[in-house]
A and B are shown apart, each in its own frame.
Chain A
């Protein structure tokens, strides 16, 4: 059984070693500053390798997003729940193609899968207050700011956007 999601323009598949260069380049770039990135090559590798490991350990994680007709990663979106995380999170990393609605399209499909296949009923998005694009995306996906929710790191200001509870897609 090959896990794979399809949208009108995109394919979502589990991340693979061949995504490493695109992912490492993203985590080294300033654009990843709100996503645990804008770091040196070692730490960028660490981010990518741990996302691969997350899939192996949990059997789910951030999907690699590709355009139909190409196997090149343009981003990663999906459920994320590492040890110590307050709640089941759904996150996104946009490597390229910003402004074309790819993230929204991919996130809609992966959110539906998280609800249907993983049975997730209470999903949050952790977003840096300065990250206006991600706030817009979270709202477009139906999430609302939850000022009372727990945040992952006490010393790191984080907004928590919450999806409507228990809504199966």
Chain B
């Protein structure tokens, strides 16, 4: 087992498995971060060493909070299709439901399917009572997905890492789990 977070859940949806990060996922996560076209709205990292440190941060975040970003595994290919989960580094306004889809997996509803599962997990296993998503103003794709998830724009704020950022509010457990 190369799992880096022994206590991470394993969530299964129709086409996907969401699980804790493993050593072998570093390459896919780093590839995403280092690709400016794909990672601009998330936090692009040009340098390989810095991208590895972000992967180490992803692992450390799990151990600090007990939750974090899961890796989305595509059942059909076994490949890493993205990450989704709950992200809450220092200075974050609130725990965030986040999602990212890697190259080759876009346009298939992967993010919607994964984020829906991660949101249910947060509202059930983690006992969270509300969730937000932080979206940079020009990330139209993420906003469209947030709307599809039933979320709405709440306010604009200044994010230490991303600059001007929008906070979107998700429907609560009473709606999502109904």
Chain A residues with a Cβ under 8 A of chain B: 17, 20, 24, 40-46, 48-54, 56-57, 82-85, 152
Contact = CB atoms under 8 A, between A and B. Distances in A.
Interface in B144-178: 160-161
A46 B89 contact: yes
Interface of B: 4-5, 23, 26, 30, 47-49, 51-61, 63-64, 89-91, 160-161
- Count chain A CB atoms within 10 A of each CB in B26, B57, B61, B160 and give the residue with the most: B57
Contact of B57 (A20, A53, A85, A152): A53
A24 B89 CA distance: 12
A152 B59 CA distance: 23
A79 B130 CA distance: 41
A49 B61 CA distance: 6
A49 B57 contact: yes
A68 B154 CA distance: 49
A50 B56 contact: yes
26 contacts: A17-B63, A17-B64, A24-B90, A40-B91, A41-B160, A42-B91, A42-B161, A43-B160, A43-B161, A45-B89, A45-B91, A46-B54, A48-B60, A50-B56, A50-B57, A50-B60, A51-B60, A52-B59, A53-B4, A53-B56, A53-B59, A56-B4, A57-B59, A82-B52, A82-B56, A84-B48
